[in-house]
Amino acid sequence: MLLALLAASASAQPVSRVPPGAAAVTVMLCPRADGCAPEWRALAAHTGPLGLPLLDFDVVAAAGPGGRDRLLAVEALLGPVRAGTAQAADISGALAGLEDLPFTIAEADLFRLWLAEGANRFPSVEADRALAAAASVSLGRVTDLGTLGEGVLARYLDLAADARPTATLRVRADTPGRVFVDGRPVGEAPVTVAVAAGWHRVSVERTGRLTAWVGAVDAPDGATLDVRAVLGPDDGAAALEAAVIAARKGLPAPTASVEALRAWGRANGLTWVRFVELAPSGGVSALVEPPEERFADPDPSSPAWDLHAVYLDVPAGRLGPRGPGPAAMVVAGDPDRFRLGVSLGYLRLQELQDTDAIPAHDHVTVEIAGQLRLLPALSLDVRLGLAHSAQPYYLDEDWLDDNVYPVSVGARLGRATGGPYVAGGALVIVPYALGGQLLAGWDLAPATAWRIAPEVRAGFVDKGWLVGGTIVVSRLR
């Protein structure tokens, strides 16, 4: 019972990411600077019974293409380099990802990274290339060199002495944006800048974006290179929110912002995203258009709420006020209508006798488990098993000493996206006993299509009682 209450409570809470297997989510916008605690509480209670995951809009902006979550990953890569504790694998990983990291990286970080690579590989051709890159991005920096070996230091100082602006980069972009060369701002595109011969990292940022266009060049001595930046969709939080608000009012949303939202939805395997905003029913509100639905607050002292919604059709790339509605999204958000799995466990069977002289009997169990989803949190649970006697010797020649076949049919309460669950149903131990059993477990989701669940069980039959535990591995269909 406790596990059932936990499952119901967890399903009504906002989540920080899209749960594995979900194909539809509800995302709440909060326009107030002081937060939207009453709206969160009311919406969570309203959507919880539907089984639709509830997210904050900031989660979308943070986890979108190159959002703040990606920036934290960049910081994790560069942290050991800044601290001087980076291992060879850390340095190689950071360098390999430089061109794929959609952010402007500071010159000091690039310098430390190439310097660490050179020291790590010295002496070799690769070390010379890394030290030359460190000298070119820093224009021959000779301060803050850290603790370099004598040979590495001498080689770097030789390369730094030749690091003079002898090449030219001409940077253009398809839209206005700030240009950075090796983390240093050099002006608005188009711009021409003199650089030292060698490796350079160019990034172009557009105002309001979370990410930048990034490219790497290797400039020969005396050469002039043309660099053209093509900035992708505007993924800034303000731009994304403005697109949703425009769509809610029936206005066309900017294509770039819709594509950024769609990219987030596709990356999370979603079909529908419903963006909602709440306003007190009957009160003064900036949301003058008719609400999609109106619902009561669980707190009797609070007002009812008007819910205004915008739908993103992820496959089609359409953002607008028309969508399937929450009922259809429940079906879309619960695609794993059927799962099939196998379990391995232990079962102790005890006969009902007037004396304690007859001990319990141990069995190893193997079961085929099928689950058919009926409602968001309710499923039909069917299990067919074999319980093989694990007794080291037989004290009594009765039914408990033989292989038996437990068959269970019942109901299971718990979310398909993972977490606690309880199940119960009729139990037949073929060919000898009738009764029932209860199970309680916890669904883990190591991958989108798979679930692993440790569980415990207990039950009674007309010839005795049973207890045990199993590990169930199942695949969503």
Where exactly are the structural domains of the chain? 22-44+236-332, 68-229, 338-476
Residue among 223, 194, 270 nearest 26 (CA): 270
The span from the CA of 428 to the CA of 451, in Å, is: 26
| Closest by CA position to 423, among listed 331, 332, 339, 328 | 339
Tens digit of pLDDT per residue, the chain (477 long)?
Answer: 333 333 333 344 567 778 777 788 899 988 776 778 888 888 888 887 776 788 888 778 776 555 566 667 777 778 888 887 878 887 887 887 777 777 888 898 899 889 889 888 889 899 999 999 999 999 888 887 877 888 889 898 989 898 889 899 999 998 888 999 999 999 999 999 999 999 999 999 887 666 788 899 999 999 999 999 988 666 667 778 888 888 888 888 888 788 888 888 888 888 899 999 888 886 555 555 778 888 888 887 877 888 889 999 999 989 988 888 877 776 655 445 688 899 998 888 877 765 454 567 788 889 999 988 777 678 899 999 888 776 554 434 454 456 788 999 999 998 766 789 999 999 998 877 889 999 999 988 776 567 899 999 999 888 788 899 999 998 876
Domain 338-476 = CATH 2.40.50.140: no
Tell me the pTM.
0.49
